Amino acid sequence: MSELGSEATPLQVAVVGSGPSGFYTVEALLKSGRTVHVDLIERLPAPFGLVRYGVAPDHPKLKEAILLYQNIARLPRFAFVGNVTVGRDVTVEELLAHYHAVVFTCGAETDRHLGVPGEDLAGSHTATEFVAWYNGHPQYRDRHFDLSGEVAAIVGQGNVAADVSRILAKSVDELRSTDIAEHALDALAASRIREIHVIGRRGPAQAKFTNKELKELGELSNCTAEVDPAALDLNAESRAELEAKANFISAKNVEILREIASRARGGKPRRLIFHFLKSPVKLVGTGRVQEVVLERNRLDGRSFEQVARPTGETESLACNLLFRSIGYSGVAVPGVPFDAKRGLIPTREGRVVDAADKPLPGLYAAGWIKRGPTGIIGTNRADGVATVKSLLADLPVLPQQVRKGSEGLAPLLAARGVRRVCYEDWDVIDAAEVARGQPKGKPREKFTRLDEMLGCLKMSR
């Protein structure tokens, strides 16, 4: 029998999830020097995952990663299988019957919970929902965010919290020429938010912002950033953290915060106020959130291991809207092991493992669903390469028979009434979105409903 990964027996791989880690995994497979056919399966008709639906609309540079993904999609032996949900339209077992291997690159699509009373009151949302809503994600199209009050609180001090703060802080004129969804722009135009409180459970030296994102929050034209200078008196352990060479991002963050603290306050329509060493312990309100109770923390532990410990001292912050931005979490795929505590698929060197830590033949993972929601877009490239290395090392133990990939899947999808969207279909949707954006001076006006996307394909036939 000919070797798997040769012209006679091409390796057929399904990659599930078309965000950054999906495309980098596809690239590593197609450039591996073997004969590999890759089908990139995506539940939406549109590819690019978090780059399309997660990156903030006012950060178009970050979306340039799409240019690379478009080139990957034009490589020979690549197929996009959009509008197909694994676990609903097709099972993992069925995929394994049509492919030699399946790689899960489905990211981390939900948020972690705070676990405090009142968390589910109206007006308390996850950052993920808000981000997906303003980016026009079809599953979040009908979410409602009441922007009629004056005070918003954001819990967490990472880059997602920075994105949410900026979108709330900017004027609509600053957002108008971005690819922000029209419904979000309309809602933000009516926003009465004046104060944005960004709340960290640890200190300024432990904030997770990257420098560029933090600096940007201090330089908004419509909003002044404020930091209490007393909050920048650091304990000895934090000062030692900042002296470590490798921790230059945190050292620069503290420098940026000191600079913000030294500036005059006010003079702009909106205020953004940083809080440190505070944790929400309760959300209070009749019917909807009206107040968040914050408990003051102190840092405990050695440098780089400091954790927030409650002091028992509380304060109350009146607010009309609250976003939890405390990190993403993955969602289980039916038929695939899942570590609910860590919110990811358990793996060893990219191979999916069962509860006994034993690799499951033919199943792999890469990106956030493998390692958790950390790192920038490019971090996923090395991760995809590493998983593909394991997959290729397993070629001798994978099934050696010819597999048909999407050709084998097609009758099954057709019988279930699933309209598969191929890459040429996406080109049609893409062009239509760009054309819709043109009269408004936007790079594109996204379709935010599945039937609009699929309807646009019918019209092109």
Contact positions vs ligand NAP (CB under 6 A): 59, 114, 155-161, 163, 200-202, 206, 208, 210, 213, 279, 325-328, 373-376
Contact 21, 367 (CB under 8 A): yes
Q: Residue with CB nearest ligand NAP?
A: 158
Whichever of 61 and 245 has its CB closer to ligand NAP, that residue is: 61
Whichever of 376 and 414 has its CB closer to ligand NAP, that residue is: 376
Whichever of 40 and 51 has its CB closer to ligand NAP, that residue is: 51
Whichever of 83 and 297 has its CB closer to ligand NAP, that residue is: 297
Q: Minimum CB separation from ligand NAP for residue 94, in Å?
A: 33
Q: Minimum CB separation from ligand NAP for residue 6, in Å?
A: 39
Q: Minimum CB separation from ligand NAP for residue 252, in Å?
A: 15
Q: Minimum CB separation from ligand NAP for residue 209, in Å?
A: 8
Q: Minimum CB separation from ligand NAP for residue 115, in Å?
A: 7
Whichever of 86 and 154 has its CB closer to ligand NAP, that residue is: 154
Whichever of 85 and 210 has its CB closer to ligand NAP, that residue is: 210
State the Cα–Cα distance between residues 151 and 135, nearest whole angstrom.
Answer: 22
Nearest to 303 by CA among 230, 243, 214, 248: 243
Q: Minimum CB separation from ligand NAP for residue 230, in Å?
A: 20
Whichever of 178 and 279 has its CB closer to ligand NAP, that residue is: 279
Q: Minimum CB separation from ligand NAP for residue 13, in Å?
A: 27
